[in-house]
Amino acid sequence: MTRTSHRIRRVRLTLAGLVSGALLAAGCTLPAFVPGSAEKAAAPGTAPTWRACPEVAEELVGRGAPGMRYDCAKIAVPRNWGAGAGATAGPGAGETFEIALLRARSSKQRDRIGSLVINPGGPGGSGVDTAVYLSFGQAFGGLPASITDRFDIVGFDPRGVSRSSPVKCISDADLDASFGADPDPRSQESFDAYRTLNQRVGRGCGDKYGDQLPLYGTEQAARDVDAVRAAVGDEKLTYLGYSYGTLLGATYAQLYPRNVRAMVLDGAVDPRQQLIAGSESQAKGFERAFGNFTRWCAANAGRCPIAPDARAAVTTAIDKARVSPVRAADGREATSGWVFYAVISSLYTESGWEELARAVDELEGGDPSGVFDLADAYAGRDEAGNYSNLFDANLAVNCADETEKPSIARIRELQSQWRDRYPLFGPSLAVGMLGCVEWPGGRDPYPTGRAEGAPPIVVVGTTGDPATPYEQTAKLAAMLGVGRVLTWEGEGHTAYPQTACVTDAVDAYLISLTVPREGLRCPAR
């Protein structure tokens, strides 16, 4: 497999909603690259200055997609949209954030409709990176030519993410400690260590950003999206949002319903779910996906070296790592946490199942490299042990949005209850709530109502989705009041454009505004 094929194939993981960890809330992962560009952010309300930036694709993938031109720009947006024009008081009043944009345009483009604005999820995922990946076409998991022939593909890094005034306040050492720690800290001592880690992270971020932490919330970011729409010159927005990007898109549709041309929300988040319900939903979703993996393993022993009982093999690997982690040649230890996140990583795509089986088998033989490859792809950790600001932004956004704050006693109670209901994933999802419980910033919840005046919005759900379980799809569509559900009976996180049925339905909607028929269900293959 070529380097390009491997990197683009992993884009399905980038369109992700990450499971909670010791200090992590829901999010997604992308390789980080901050180009050394000199462009200045255009002032609010002014047209951006675009410059050619082929170096972004070259750094991410090794080359640009054939026939694609890449241009970059930056725009400035108010830090606090709610402060009002000319305000001088309040957090962020009178200040701006820079928002980085990348536009991929095909040389074969004809009868241009406008721009397709992309958000890959997270929160914390880079839309700039994702626009590059999606520009490579369906052979590599990208967008079909039917779309790139009619639209510019525009990715943006939301406020606080990657190239857009990035929030950075978590050390690499603390991220290593979080991912490497026991995903189910049963003793009071180990649980207290989790809490101490979250408290340290919260203090560091609070000390650095103070009362501006709530400004990274979803409603502020949704208002930025309208600035992006204006910057690319579209009267109305055409939008494709994955995972958390469905929440961002739904918020935009409520704020600016008459500015929507077409909107596809793939991997739906239920905006009305609070912290506990959302965490339990992910625990259930990952358990279901893991069960699907174990059944595949039993039926495909020739491709699954840990058959016939994959669940026992995985749980044994995690248990062994708790007491005697395998050490790599560089001294890094494959602790129970790293094995756990290798499992999480593999469940985002059905193609990851075989990788997981091989990695667990190799770990038993003393080679942890496969475990680290999977876990590091999820964590956004490079070979030198450096992280992007993915999880800094993830916490900042999720905790600004979240209003529910369960007690420590309640978290401990749920950790035990969910261990019984969702044995592999429940405890980690319960403990993961500590991230926002210990977060120091204020809260700025997004709206959860109807998108009155918006056109039909297509909400796509995957029946085997671990990170945004299928049950949330209809709930998001119903909340908006204009949602039309499109179901994929497949595995992994997000659906478009993985099969002809889903692709044809979404393409017809984006290009011709033809809404999928009510109740359309697309087969797995």
Report the mean per-residue pLDDT for the chain: 91
Are 280 and 395 contained in the same domain? yes
Query: For the chain, how big is the Rg over CA atoms in Å?
Result: 22
Are 63 and 151 contained in the same domain? yes
- Alpha carbon dihedral 190, 191, 192, 198, in 10-degree steps, equals 110
Label residue 39 by pLDDT band (50, 70, 90): low
Domain boundary among 412, 438, 464: 438
Are 429 and 457 contained in the same domain? no
Catalytic residue selected from 184, 234, 266, 465: 465
Token pair belonging to 81: 């949209």
pLDDT tens-digit map of 94-124 = 899 999 999 999 999 999 999 999 999 999 9
Q: Is residue 392 part of a domain?
A: yes
Q: Is residue 509 part of a domain?
A: yes
Domain boundary among 387, 415, 438: 438
Catalytic residue selected from 20, 135, 178, 243: 243
Token pair belonging to 216: 């990274």
Q: Is residue 10 part of a domain?
A: no
Q: Is residue 81 part of a domain?
A: yes
Q: What is the mean pLDDT of residues 437-454?
A: 95
Token pair belonging to 283: 């625990």
Residue 407 is a catalytic residue: no
C-beta of residue 245 within 8 angstroms of C-beta of residue 120 = yes
pLDDT tens-digit map of 1-14 = 344 444 444 444 44
Helix (H, G, I), strand (E, B) or coil at 477: helix
Residue 190 is a catalytic residue: no
pLDDT at residue number 15? 44
pLDDT at residue number 14? 43
Q: What is the mean pLDDT of residues 387-412?
A: 96
Q: Is the peptide bond before 447 cis (omega within 30 degrees of 0)?
A: no
Are 398 and 290 contained in the same domain? yes
Q: Is residue 460 part of a domain?
A: yes
Q: Is the pLDDT of residue 216 over 60?
A: yes
Q: How many domains does the chain have?
A: 2
Q: Is residue 36 part of a domain?
A: no
Are 433 and 286 contained in the same domain? yes
Q: Is residue 182 part of a domain?
A: yes
Q: What is the mean pLDDT of residues 477-498?
A: 96
Q: Is the pLDDT of residue 316 over 50?
A: yes
pLDDT at residue number 41? 74
The residues, ordered by sequence, that sit 6+ positions from 277 with a Cβ below 8 Å of its Cβ are none
Please tell me what DSSP assigns to residue 515.
P
Catalytic residue selected from 135, 376, 392, 493: 493
Are 430 and 311 contained in the same domain? yes
Q: What percent of the chain has pLDDT over 70?
A: 90
Domain range for 327: 172-186+275-402+404-438
Are 144 and 79 contained in the same domain? yes
Token pair belonging to 182: 């026991």
Helix (H, G, I), strand (E, B) or coil at 115: strand
pLDDT at residue number 20? 42
Residue 165 is a catalytic residue: no
Q: DSSP of 27-62, one letter per residue? A: ------------PPPBPTTS----EE-HHHHHHHHS
pLDDT tens-digit map of 341-382 = 999 999 999 999 999 999 999 999 999 999 999 999 999 899
